[in-house]
Amino acid sequence: MATAHAARRRPAVLGDLLPGALARDAALVAAAATLTGIAAQITVPMPGTPVPVTGQTFAVLLTGAALGFGRAALAMLLYLLAGVAGMPWFTEGGSGAGVPTLGYVIGFVIAAAAVGRLAQRGGDRTPVRTAATMLTGTVIIYAVGVPYLMASLDVDLARALDLGLTPFLVGDALKVLLAAGLLPAAWKLTGAARDR
């Protein structure tokens, strides 16, 4: 009876659409960490700040929405630990506490988990809910990243905001809008969307 109930249960996040369980989850976690690492290599240096524009925040937010709370958090924790262990996928190939942007990466773990939880509750099914979910994740990343940047560079809050937040607001708004279009469309294409 439990198996029949599980078979009828609708997917909570896009990652649930794939067959399997443990092997699927392990593959999704590893793939999301790798995708984030690859996205981190797409960098556009910003003048006057050690924080570049990268694709990794978009990868983090999509990971959260696609994998849900637990898998997304594990994927970003794997990304963080691999980077600290020496995988050269942080800013300028750096790793560890000496990287001023490490606070953002720590924020990725929390943001992916939060976005994943919201997605499990239907936060990625409509454009408006998706935008709110992605905005929540973005705020979390900055809430951890900016204070770390402030401490790492020994600057005041105003300077840390100038270096690590203000130059990125337009790009982040575009990422939120892109996700707000992509995720609901992905649910519609799968035919597995449900109103929550």
Is the residue at 12 inside a domain? no
pLDDT band with cut points at 50, 70 and 90 for residue 94: low
Question: Which residue reads 């130059």 in tokens?
Answer: 167
Q: How far apart are CA 18 and CA 147, in angstroms?
A: 38
Q: How far apart are CA 148 and CA 92, in angstroms?
A: 18
Average pLDDT over residues 177-185: 87
Tokens of 74: 């594990």
How does DSSP assign 19-78, residue by residue?
A: S-SHHHHHHHHHHHHHHHHHHHT-EE--TT-S--EESHHHHHHHHHHHHHHHHHHHHHHH
Is the residue at 15 inside a domain? no
Query: Domain limits at 135?
Result: 21-190
C-alpha separations of 166 from 25, 173, 177 in Å:
36, 12, 18
Number of domains in the chain: 1
Give the pLDDT score at 62: 92
With the CA atoms of 151, 152, 155 and 158 taken in that order, what torsion angle do they form, in degrees rounded to the nearest 10?
A: -70
Nearest to 58 by CA among 24, 104, 3: 104
Is the residue at 133 inside a domain? yes
Q: How far apart are CA 85 and CA 157, in angstroms?
A: 29
Q: In the predicted model, is pLDDT for residue 51 greater than 90?
A: no
Is the residue at 9 inside a domain? no
Q: How far apart are CA 181 and CA 194, in angstroms?
A: 17
Average pLDDT over residues 62-83: 93
Is the residue at 5 inside a domain? no
What kind and span of H or E run contains 104? helix 102-120
Tokens of 119: 């997605």
Is the residue at 75 inside a domain? yes
Tens of pLDDT, residue by residue over 12-39, are: 676 666 656 777 788 889 999 999 999 8
CATH number of 175's domain: 1.10.1760.20
Is the residue at 196 inside a domain? no
Average pLDDT over residues 107-125: 94
Is the residue at 41 inside a domain? yes
